[in-house]
Amino acid sequence: MTNGTTKTRVGFIGLGIMGRSMAGHLNTAGHALHVFNRTQARAEPLVAAGAVWHDTPGAVAAAADVVITMVGYPHDVEAIYLGAGGIVERAPHGAVLVDMTTSSPELARRIAEAAAAKGVAALDAPVSGGEGGARDARLSIMVGGDAAAFERVLPLLRLMGSNVVRQGGPGAGQHTKMCNQIVIASTMLGVCEGLAYARRSGLDPETVLQSIGGGAASSFLLNNLGPRILKGDFAPGFFVEHFIKDMGIAATEAARMGMDLPGLRLTKDLYEELAAQGHRRDGTQVLFKHYER
Amino acid sequence: MTNGTTKTRVGFIGLGIMGRSMAGHLNTAGHALHVFNRTQARAEPLVAAGAVWHDTPGAVAAAADVVITMVGYPHDVEAIYLGAGGIVERAPHGAVLVDMTTSSPELARRIAEAAAAKGVAALDAPVSGGEGGARDARLSIMVGGDAAAFERVLPLLRLMGSNVVRQGGPGAGQHTKMCNQIVIASTMLGVCEGLAYARRSGLDPETVLQSIGGGAASSFLLNNLGPRILKGDFAPGFFVEHFIKDMGIAATEAARMGMDLPGLRLTKDLYEELAAQGHRRDGTQVLFKHYER
CATH number at residue B146: 3.40.50.720
Residues A158 and A191 in one domain: no
**Beta-carbon separation of A259 and B200 below 8 A:** yes
Please report, in tens digits, the pLDDT of each residue of chain A (293 residues total): 444 457 899 999 999 999 999 999 999 999 999 999 999 999 999 999 999 999 999 999 999 999 999 999 999 999 999 999 999 999 999 999 999 999 999 999 999 999 999 999 999 999 999 999 999 999 999 999 999 999 999 999 999 999 999 999 999 999 999 999 999 999 999 999 999 999 999 999 999 999 999 999 999 999 999 999 999 999 998 999 999 999 999 999 999 999 999 999 999 999 999 999 999 999 999 999 999 97
End-of-domain residue from the set A169, A204, A232: A169
Stretch 250-289 of chain B: residues touching chain A, C-beta under 8 Å: 250, 253-254, 257, 259, 261-264, 266-267, 270
Residue B261 forms part of a structural domain: yes
Residues A191 and A241 in one domain: yes
Residues A16 and A161 in one domain: yes
Contacts across the A-B interface (CB distance below 8 Å) = 258
Residue B217 forms part of a structural domain: yes
Instruction: Select from A18, A104, A140, A183 the residue whose CB has the most chain B CBs within 10 Å, as the one to mutate to test that interface.
Output: A183
Which chain A residues are Cβ-neighbours of B216 within 8 angstroms? 128-130, 180, 184, 220-221, 224, 238
Residue B2 forms part of a structural domain: no
**Beta-carbon separation of A193 and B261 below 8 A:** yes
If pLDDT is split at 50, 70 and 90, which confidence band does B1 have? very low
Residues B45 and B97 in one domain: yes
Q: Is B197 on the interface with A (CB under 8 A)?
A: yes
Which chain B residues are Cβ-neighbours of A208 within 8 angstroms? 167, 176, 179
End-of-domain residue from the set A169, A188, A214: A169
Residue A4 forms part of a structural domain: no
**Number of structural domains in chain A:** 2
Residue A2 forms part of a structural domain: no
End-of-domain residue from the set A151, A169, A187: A169
- pLDDT score, position B227: 98
Residue A93 forms part of a structural domain: yes
Residues A138 and A228 in one domain: no
Judge whether residue B4 has pLDDT over 50: no
Residues A135 and A86 in one domain: yes
Residues B152 and B191 in one domain: no
In which domain, by residue range, is A235 found? Answer: 176-292
Strand A139-144 relative to strand A127-128, pairing: antiparallel
Q: Is B4 on the interface with A (CB under 8 A)?
A: no
Distance of residue B6 Cα from the nearest chain A Cα, in angstroms: 28
Distance of residue B61 Cα from the nearest chain A Cα, in angstroms: 29
Task: Count Cβ neighbours within 10 Å for each residue of B220-238 and write b for 16 or more, e otherwise.
Answer: bbbbebbeebbeeebebeb
Given A140, A210, A217, which is nearest B187 (Cβ)? A217
Residue B84 forms part of a structural domain: yes
Residues A119 and A211 in one domain: no
Mean pLDDT of B129-158: 97
Is A231 in the active site?
no
**Beta-carbon separation of B197 and A186 below 8 A:** no
Task: Give the ipTM.
Answer: 0.96
